[in-house]
Structure 1
Amino acid sequence: MTKQTNYYNDLLVDYSKPELVSNELAVKLLKDAEIYLSLRDDTLPKITLEYSLEQVEQENKDWWPTHCEALRQGRGDILAGEYANTLVYLCADGPFYGRTAATNREVNRWAILAQPSVIIAWPIVMFNGEVVYSEWNCFDDETNEVIAKGNETLLRRGHQGACYLKCEQFSFYRDVYASQELLYWIRL
């Protein structure tokens, strides 16, 4: 029998369940996210002996909890800042080229996933060098329904390179575009 894996064993926070983290930890993660954003270069760094795939993978593991918390908190400013200027975003209603185009489309998704009384969880996350793969689902606390689910593959060259390719499959069961009321909650 294959042993099941807890994908969060080596990570600071476990986002596999729809449970909130403490306010103190959320604040720390958002501050860490802002630090990681400040390290981003406009040019994709080369993988070298000094900036190895092992280092990139560790930086991606450090970054992952900050990404999860930024989405839960509706911090579109952080989420948009995680993208390289030259981002390629491939999805069912894409492709989108560049950070601005991707952000303009994703703001609706962020609003739906971060709305009050809804919580997103990522039961699966895997890392391999600059590849980050996750599966997620989003629950409504009041109705107990899954309102959306999906998976994404990110190519993220650590803190210096940011996310330069995002491929996503998602299914929204209730809303596809966010109402103005929900968009109000997203901080850009």
Structure 2
Amino acid sequence: MARQNYYEGLSADYSRPGLVEKDHQVKLIQRSEEIGNLQEAELPAIGPDYTLEQIEAENREFWPTHCEALRQGRGDLLTKEYRPDLVYHCQDGPYHGIKEQAQREKHWWAIIAQPGVTMCWPIVQFWGEFTHFEWICFDDETHEQIAKGSVCWVRRGHRGGCYYKSEQLTFTRDVFASDDLLKLILTNA
């Protein structure tokens, strides 16, 4: 199979550090805030008025905004990506609803978004409402791996948000965030 650039056609490339200009980062955060406000109370039906093609296009637009929100530790924006009735399968779960996983996930966000660490997503693939991605975090100074994972989201575009997430996470340096790191992520929540 031919090698490919997974970010071809997307508005920004998060496959490694340093590829997104500061002014574009600001625009992506603004768009993340806008997208977070488009989620409807009821999960919209897939049909002629909201097709899988439209949903996939919206998921492709959304992807760089998610990456930037995570790099900036914007817990407020990350929480808005989920539906209130989220189902989240991972080794610590399963979790049902965004309140149930919040206590655990805030530690993960704090560790992967801490100062001096950069998260990258070398692989992202889209198919309708499905997004598969792999991520890895590196210490900017020592270049050691901090954490990595493989994720599948089921996201019904901007109108629906993420209603199912399955993730395998491996933390290699820290498992729980320090109080100082938690304060950084929670000030943005």
TM-based fold match above 0.5: yes
Structure 2 gaps, min length 5 = none
Match of 1:154?
153
Please list, as runs of the form range in 1=range in 2, the aligned pairs for 1:1-188 lying within 5 A after superposition.
2-19=1-18, 21-186=20-185, 187-188=188-189
Any idea what the Cα deviations from partners look like across 1:30-64, whole Å, max 9, x if unmatched?
10001101110121100010100000000000000
Per the alignment, in what secondary structure is the counterpart of residue 110 of structure 2? helix
CA distance in 1, matches of 2:40, 2:104: 24
The amino acid of 2:79's aligned partner reads A
Q: Shift of the alpha carbon at 1:23?
A: 1.9
Task: Give the TM-score of the pair, scaled to structure 2.
Answer: 0.97
Per the alignment, in what secondary structure is the counterpart of residue 185 of structure 1? helix
RMSD (Å), alpha carbons: 0.8
Q: Shift of the alpha carbon at 1:111?
A: 0.3
Q: Shift of the alpha carbon at 1:102?
A: 2.1
The amino acid of 1:91's aligned partner reads C
Q: Shift of the alpha carbon at 1:184?
A: 1.4
Any idea what the Cα deviations from partners look like across 1:88-128, whole Å, max 9, x if unmatched?
01000101110111222211000000000000000000000
CA distance in 2, matches of 1:184, 1:20: 28
Per the alignment, in what secondary structure is the counterpart of residue 137 of structure 1? strand
Per the alignment, in what secondary structure is the counterpart of residue 184 of structure 1? helix
CA distance in 2, matches of 1:22, 1:10: 17
In the alignment of these two chains, the number of paired residues is 187
Q: In the alignment, is the contact (CA less than 8 A) between 2:13 and 2:20 conserved in 1? A: no
